[in-house]
Copies of this chain bind each other. A is one copy, B any other.
């Protein structure tokens, strides 16, 4: 086996490969995507991919980290700019979560489907970036608890998981549906934050 290759100045080609991989994985899934397809999507030769990534698995993991990092950065920088209460912050979080889809449907399909895979089959890879994402949400909840805006008796860790799961499932549906419009996203955002904050009971 060949060892990892370092990244030199040519990030641009690396980027093209990652973009091509995202597109291909979103369309056909990891196992049904040929390396040669990624290469042609990226406009490079098959072998070139191995100058930037150790193997196909490494490409998958690298793609994850790259995109999750991007998402986390965007989310957290946008979240910082609000100074509303918990309800508003949660609504904003949900909206941002969904909006990232509209902007990049391939990314949504990739994240919703392949994240599960990696949770299980790439066990040795603990997926720290996804952990960061969850911690953001959990931090939001804990803050709210300290401010008395969230019931104390709820376990922030469990609740953050539940919220993420709910969003992810709705997102999966959104990402697989053909027509996606902002109005529909707004409707779901509003209803879900309402549901979480106020509960189901009248």
Binding site for B on A (CB under 8 A): 28-29, 31-32, 86-87, 90, 109, 112-113, 116-117, 119-121, 144, 148-155, 158-159, 161-170, 172-173, 176, 188, 191-192, 194-202
Nearest B residue to A157, CB-CB: B173
Pair B32/A121 contact, Cβ less than 8 Å: yes
Q: Are A172 and B116 in contact (CB under 8 A)?
A: yes
22 examples of A-B residue contacts, CB within 8 angstroms: A29-B117, A32-B121, A86-B201, A90-B200, A144-B200, A149-B201, A150-B200, A151-B198, A154-B195, A158-B170, A158-B188, A159-B200, A161-B166, A161-B173, A163-B166, A165-B172, A166-B166, A168-B169, A196-B200, A197-B199, A199-B199, A199-B201
How far does the Cβ of A101 sit from chain B's closest Cβ, in whole Å? 14
Task: Please name the residue on chain B nearest to A198 by beta carbon.
Answer: B199
Q: Are B119 and A200 in contact (CB under 8 A)?
A: no
A113-B119, A119-B172 given; 16 more Cβ-contact pairs under 8 Å: A29-B121, A31-B31, A86-B200, A87-B201, A116-B117, A150-B200, A158-B191, A159-B195, A162-B167, A162-B170, A163-B166, A165-B165, A197-B201, A198-B199, A199-B200, A199-B201
